[in-house]
Structure 1
């Protein structure tokens, strides 16, 4: 495909003023709406639950595969362009777990309390052996945007956010693993940042900015 054709596809995607967000996560929806509004993109984000679309079966083996699966699923059932986010926390000393299973790490999808408790427990034996060494972690976000369910050229964007994993929860904002994700340069957890500061530097904020840059080509 030529660069001109790809540019036309990107331009066509912005002409649709409604996109389906392939997620029912209220935290993600709030972040997407704020970031898209700040970008002055003439797009209304509709959560798939508002259209009675159930979650897709995420049987991919990577963030990219799962993001595309979710975007195609939402687009097929809605008939609208769709954007999907597949994100998670990777901890190298745990073999990059919880990774793509972050939302259901403790066995129950979306239970932040249980997921955080399991991560703390899984890291405790490692902390006992290396008491003074910070445990690195990385938030990953992959976005996939499709103009229709069978779009042969999904737009893919990604963001990476480096930090450290705390021993206990810190901060009462955000969602997911935010209370355990420490940013040494800011001396703050992701859960203690304002929404504006988090959106500016987070993995999701980075990915959305990358996506918007591709749409403007």
Structure 2
């Protein structure tokens, strides 16, 4: 078993152009890095996500951003709906179209569930930390729940307003962000990554 590599720098590049993700990542990793910047702020293009899994796409994005010379963290996450054969899955953002209209994406999920009794779903978050020399550390977190309709709440982003985590009465969209951070797929992945690379 290989020993995980620790992050020892002061600047971490968040390899995302998604403002919601950048905000959540900065909040979750705030204690562990002195400075954050983003792929967008550095003028780095978004690489084409050609991987066939969340892990493959996270690693692809992290490596692309690390090529700019700093350790880079990339997230690839999405909603997996078993009754839709795993869709939208790695295409979760693409279901929202070029204008990132997640009301449209949530409607597509709901339309696909018409006549289905199984409304279970889970969020997946793969996190990859890449160094300029090509080394990568990757973890994957999950959060299980049920899909509700109509969407509820104005917090969070993406599919949050239609996802009610198991054991809770509120959707991610209704929860205080701190409550979501404590249990989300991203929180699960970050707990693993912090233990692996930041402690």
* Residue 18 (structure 1) shift: 0.8
**Cα distance, 1:43 vs. partner?**
3.7
Measure how far apart 1:168 and its partner are. 1.2
Give 1:45 shift: 2.2
Counterpart in 1 of 2:93? 103
Show CA shifts across 1:179-206 (max 9, x none).
Answer: 0101342200011111111111000011
Partner of 2:24: 31
Give the aligned partner of residue 123 of structure 2.
139
Q: Distance in 1 between matches of 2:197 and 2:166?
A: 33
**How far, CA to CA, are the matches of 1:85 and 1:203 in structure 2?**
11
Give the alignment of 1:74-93 within 5 angstroms: 74-76=65-67, 78-93=68-83
CA contact (8 A) 1:63 1:100 kept: yes
For each residue in 1:9-31, what CA deviation from the matched residue of structure 2 results, as whole angstroms up to 9, or x when unmatched?
Answer: 32xx2x21111111111111111
Match runs of 1:170-209 below 5 Å: 170-209=152-191
Larger radius of gyration: 1
* Greater than 6 Å deviation, 4+ residue runs: none
Separation in structure 1 between the aligned mates of residue 22 and residue 114 of structure 2, nearest angstrom? 33
Residue 54 of structure 1 corresponds to: 45
Match status 1:148 vs 2:132: yes
1:7-26 correspondence to structure 2 within 5 Å: 9-10=5-6, 13=7, 15-26=8-19
Q: Secondary structure at the match of 1:189?
A: coil
Q: TM-score, normalised by structure 1?
A: 0.86
Unpaired segments ≥5 residues, structure 2: none
> What is the aligned-residue RMSD (CA, Å)?
1.7
Higher helix proportion: 1
Any conservation in 1 of the 2:32–2:198 contact (CA below 8 Å)?
no
Q: 1:54 to 1:120 in 2, by over 3 A?
A: same
Specify the alignment match of 1:157 in structure 2: 139
| 1:56-86 deviations in Å (ceiling 9; x for gaps) | 110000011000000011111x211101000
- The two structures have a TM-score, normalised by structure 2, of 0.93
| Paired residue secondary structure (1:121) | helix
- The 2-side partners of 1:191 and 1:106 are apart by 17
**Alpha-carbon offset, residue 107 of structure 1:** 3.8
